[in-house]
Amino acid sequence: MKDNNTFLVVDGHSLLFRAFYALDESKFSSGSTPTNAVFGFFTMLCEVVKAYKPYYIAVAFDTSGGTFRNELLPCYKAQRPKTPEGFSKQLEIVKAALGLLDVKWFIKQGFEGDDIVASLSRQGEEKGLKVLIVSGDKDVFQLIDEKVSVIFPGRHF
């Protein structure tokens, strides 16, 4: 096993939405394409990588459309507002940039990003890795155990 057996699992949608709403898009743009969420996402990711120095990194994103939960319960998240304009374009930029950085990212049709986060964290744990989850979604707290920790975005990043 490598000296550093830390596996960072990022809830990509959680961080991207946080950045999207936290930063004024007029201050971060590339021509007509807003990049506030892209800038914020990578700023937070770099802070976490610098602080925890993981050997492995994976980012999980939500799928567009419904999930298996919507099939079981049609009213699941039915009251959620539509994804804001500009978010999807920035999501594509983030996925492309992650690919260029050789950071693996995952989307699975019919599943939410936090479902993927849970699967990745369990796989990492089964391989003997120390798992660090970065998410602003309190649902991931149920994954905490001896080998799985959660970094909840706050004032530090």
Q: Is 103 exposed, middle or buried (0-12, 13-18, 19+ CB in 10 A)?
A: middle
Compute the average pLDDT of residues 70-91: 68
For residue 41, pLDDT over 50 is answered with yes
Taking the domains of the chain in order of start, what are their residue ranges? 6-151
- With a threshold of 0.75, does the pTM exceed it? yes
Judge contact between 139 and 77, C-beta under 8 A: no
Mean per-residue pLDDT over the chain, rounded: 86
For residue range 127-142, list pLDDT tens digits in order. 999 999 999 989 899 9
Level-2 CATH architecture, domain 6-151: 3-Layer(aba) Sandwich (3.40)
CA atoms of 118 and 11, how far apart (whole Å): 10
Residues 114-124: tens digit of each pLDDT: 889 999 999 99
Q: What is the dihedral of CA 134, 136, 141, 145, to 10 degrees?
A: 10
